[in-house]
Amino acid sequence: MNQIPEDAVVAARGVGREFAVGGEVVHAVRDVSLDIFPAEVVVLLGRSGSGKTTLLNLLGGLDTPTEGVVYLRGRDLSTFSASELAQMRRTDLGFVFQTFGLLPLLSAQENVELPLRIAGASRSERERLARVALDTVGLLHRVRHRPYELSGGEQQRVAIARAIVNKPPLILADEPTAELDSVSASSIFSLLAEIVVQDRLAVVVATHDQAVLDVAHRVLKLEDGALVSD
């Protein structure tokens, strides 16, 4: 098995994922090997059903590979206990989803504070860090607004602020612009690129949106669960 680079945030070696559907075996991901490094935007590009989301879930420890190994900061994820996986998701990963995933009764600041609350941060620390994250995404003036008072692009910016508030080394974004118009989508991708440079995070974006190519450092194309180009 190929050696894992010391500076890789996440790495996969021969990773595959199969599902049994209606008595048949579906190969969602096939023999994928890759390395993701700090300060880069990596795009998983492919059509719907190509395996992008499944691969993203494998990299984030949300799913378990049928074969192969995923390493986070050099450690085999299969060796993590359930509590270690939960802690890893709190501290080492940030997630951005296509439907934003904001709680409607909470303000922008309160939504961003959620990971810090789960991590046990004090109230003053939660408020300080949430405001820093919202300032990073250009929404400090909207901290008290609830999701229904924000545009789609603004809601996704709040979701990004929530993902980065703990300064995790890895951000996983699943179709983050699927609900947005082209102008908002371009703005979101540019914002992700700026955050990568500023905080030296690694960002992996699963998408079929060609607009992300303008800010991507690498594009990994998937077809039928397999990497066909890098």
Q: Note the pLDDT tens digit of each residue in 90-133.
A: 889 999 988 888 999 999 999 999 999 988 889 999 999 999 99
For 67-76, what is the mean pLDDT?
Answer: 94
Instruction: Give the 3-state secondary structure of residue 92.
Output: coil
pLDDT at 142: 94
pLDDT at 114: 93
Amino acid letter for position 142: R
Band of pLDDT at residue 1, cut at 50, 70 and 90: low
What token pair was written down for 164?
């980065």
| Domain annotation covers residue 137 | yes
pLDDT at 230: 65
| Domain annotation covers residue 150 | yes
pLDDT at 179: 84
| Domain annotation covers residue 170 | no
What does each C-alpha distance from 111 to 90, 142, 150, 223 come to in angstroms?
15, 12, 13, 36
Q: How many CB atoms lie within 10 A of CB 210?
A: 9
- pTM for the predicted model, two decimal places: 0.90
| Domain annotation covers residue 195 | no
Paired sense of beta strands 226-229 and 93-97, if any: unpaired
With tokens 């979101």, the residue in question is 188
pLDDT at 209: 81
Compute the distance between CA of residue 118 and CA of residue 205 in angstroms, rounded to an integer: 25
Given its phi and psi angles, is residue 69 left (phi above 0), alpha (psi -120 to 50 degrees) or beta?
A: beta
Compute the distance between CA of residue 198 and CA of residue 203 in angstroms, rounded to an integer: 12
In terms of residue numbers, what domain contains 148?
Answer: 102-154
Which residues, 6+ apart, have CB-to-CB distance to 128 below 8 Å? none
Structural domains counted in the chain = 1
| Domain annotation covers residue 141 | yes
Q: Per-residue pLDDT for 214 more than 90? A: no
Band of pLDDT at residue 47, cut at 50, 70 and 90: confident
For 8-19, what is the mean pLDDT?
Answer: 94
pLDDT at 25: 83
| Domain annotation covers residue 127 | yes
| Domain annotation covers residue 68 | no
Mean pLDDT of the chain: 91
| Domain annotation covers residue 110 | yes
